[in-house]
Chain A
Amino acid sequence: MSGISRRELLERGAAGGLVLSGLGGLAGCGIGRGLQGDTDRVIEPKVDGDLYYFNYSQYINPALVRAFEEKYDVRVIQSYFDSMEGMIAKLRAGNSYDVMFPTAEYVQRLVQEEQLLRIPRDKLENIDNIYSYFDDPWYDPDSAHSVPYSLYITGIGYRADILDNMTGSWNDLANPEADGRIFVLDDYQEALAAGNLRNGYDMNTVVESELAATQDWLVGLKPLLRGFSVDTITNMASGNAWIQHLWNGDIVNIRYRVDDPDAYQFQKITQDGFPVGSDTFVIPVNAEHPGTAMLFIDFMLDPKNAARNVTWNGYPMPNRGQDETFEELAKGDPNIVVTVDDLEGGEQFANLPQEERELWTNTFLEVKAS
């Protein structure tokens, strides 16, 4: 794309006040184009500077970040996003990060857009611990640009001390006994997925009549809802939520925060099906310190570190080094375990083309704005 970068535009605008007068001339130019760089750049796992890290907040054990800083005598400069879209917006704005954590479908998209460096897997000492499912995953052939970080399923967290009528269906989001204490995830993909699965449609459906039915179901839920929110841990730990649409690892974190952990249970939606996904480590094409990023990824794959990480954040890693630890963690609640069978049999979010994606975001917007 023969675009004008934002900086250039700014300079010109400042110099000549062109911005308003020159609108016509700008037609067709990109605003914040993608990152430029050589995706085949050779990376060596050695310290080449401080690590610029970009992740969801509270998604990695901070003690491990400190341990990494000490081991390699580097600083880890952390920034956070709260959604994949937010992550993309920051990247588009030209920020440079060394390691970040997109979901599988976003890896697919970033690979297609040539935004990721190739990761030389043979230079990662601990790569053999990774489950073989990820040798050639659907989103990144041969795992050339990504290393899997964690596995998750979406389900429903509920108060077992109060509710005794959960059914294992997404209909539980309309449980009348929790009237006014139910939260649906404020996430267009998750909210529509729950409705689509509940209605027996393909989770990624783009059939308008089906999405309309899902929209009706969600709108019908609203009188029972307390809100749409991704602040799942606070909602449940504060007692505001008796039923919370959430991800499996959240329940582990909620239990760390409350006096009576057994009262907080995770329900796998076995009746209708559930979304399953994986997050990854990737190195953006404009990373300035990819060597340190390689060391960081390898450090996190180390079995001992992986075990420490899953205990802290509650999400299993597809890494044999943490298997025993996670089993121990999930003893009271086997529902939070995610297996390769879940990945193969479960529903994964697809990368929808722009128009279809707009259909999804607009459907959810209409639910919330109505």
Chain B
Amino acid sequence: MSENRFAHAMLAPAGVWLLLLFAVPLGILLAVSLGETDPAYQAVYGFHPENFRDVFDPLFAPVLLRSVGYALATVVLCLLIGYPIAYYIARFGGRWKTLLIALVVLPFLVNYLVRTYAWVAILSDEGLINGILTDTGISENGVQFVNTSWAVIGGLVYGYLAFMILPLYAALDRMDPALIEAGKDLYGTRWQTFRHVTWPTAFQGVAAGCVLVFLPAVGDFISAQLLGGPDTYMVGNLIQQQFLEAQNWPFGAALTIVMMAFLLIWMLLYVRSAAGAAREADA
């Protein structure tokens, strides 16, 4: 077997995996999205493109906008919180680097749902934090943390922060520290050095982190369900509601397809930017 053919053969397991567990389910999803429900609430195949028209019913506009808004806020907060952490670990972590990165990943060993529930217990009106606030007299009646928009965004930030830190760390860690020294040698201030050297050099990490946080955050339903209030309904909740409560699989599938298409645009933008950066690096 030539080396080339061997290399192709190596792709087979991944190819079969992708076909069986991604392409086929996606095809079924697409087929269901064009179906309808029969009188026994069973989804049946058919050709009903109007399911897709219903997705753009003005009723759902606030839900879709809210989801994107929450996800963007999550990305910004993750970047603001994650960048300094990644920078510190990459530049000053020294022999503790591996340990520090392990600590970032550690919460992921606990299920996201369970971690979110923990926040409910910690932040509730008679929970730990409010107990401290009222006992110390900092706040007389405590603060309502949970069941607010901020709680939902906070849950999303907490849930997906590591997706920001890891690619940022990888990018910053690869960066040659001599570049920063060179910036300073050329009389750049700290801010100028950061703006003209560090930020552009590690920009691919920023882009990857933003995409990796944005994609799951926009479709999340757990944070809104557990930490949300009466006005925090997200598209993930809507899709879940269609599959379960409404038992309208075709519409739930249509919503999913539209959302995937929307997310794909972001994914493609990222891939283009990454490919451009790779070409620049080669040149």
Instruction: List chain A positions with a Cβ less than 8 A from chain B.
Output: 1, 3, 6, 9-10, 13-14, 19-20, 23-24, 26-34, 83, 85-86, 88-89, 92, 113, 180-181, 188, 222, 225-228, 231, 234, 238-240, 353-354, 357-358, 361-362, 364-366, 368-370
Contact = CB atoms under 8 A, between A and B. Distances in A.
A30 B31 contact: no
Contacts of A113: 40
- Judged by DSSP, the binding face of B is loop
Contact of B34 (A23, A33, A361): A23
A354 to B, nearest CB: 5
Interface of B: 19-20, 24, 27-28, 30-32, 34-35, 37-47, 59-60, 62-63, 120-121, 124-127, 144, 146-147, 226, 228-231, 233, 237-238, 241, 243-249
A194 B280 CA distance: 64
B42 A32 contact: yes
B124 A369 contact: no
A355 to B, nearest CB: 8
A83 B225 CA distance: 15
Given A19-B28, A238-B120, A240-B124, A228 B230 contact: yes
Contacts of B24: 10, 13-14, 19
Contacts of A366: 59
B228 to A, nearest CB: 6
Contact of B28 (A13, A227, A370): A13
A31 B41 CA distance: 11
B59 A358 contact: no
B45 A370 contact: no
A34 B40 contact: yes
22 contacts: A1-B44, A10-B28, A23-B31, A27-B46, A28-B46, A31-B44, A32-B42, A33-B42, A34-B40, A85-B247, A88-B41, A227-B228, A227-B229, A238-B120, A238-B126, A239-B127, A240-B124, A240-B126, A354-B39, A357-B41, A369-B233, A369-B238
B44 A30 contact: yes
A226 B230 contact: yes
A319 B237 CA distance: 39
B127 A85 contact: no
A85 B247 CA distance: 7
Given A6-B28, A226-B147, A231-B226, 4 more contacts: A14-B20, A26-B45, A89-B243, A238-B124
A84 to B, nearest CB: 9
Contacts of B37: 354
A14 B19 contact: yes
Nearest to B235: A369
Contacts of B127: 238-239
Given A9-B28, A369-B238, A28 B45 contact: yes
A234 B43 contact: no
Contacts of B244: 83, 85-86, 89
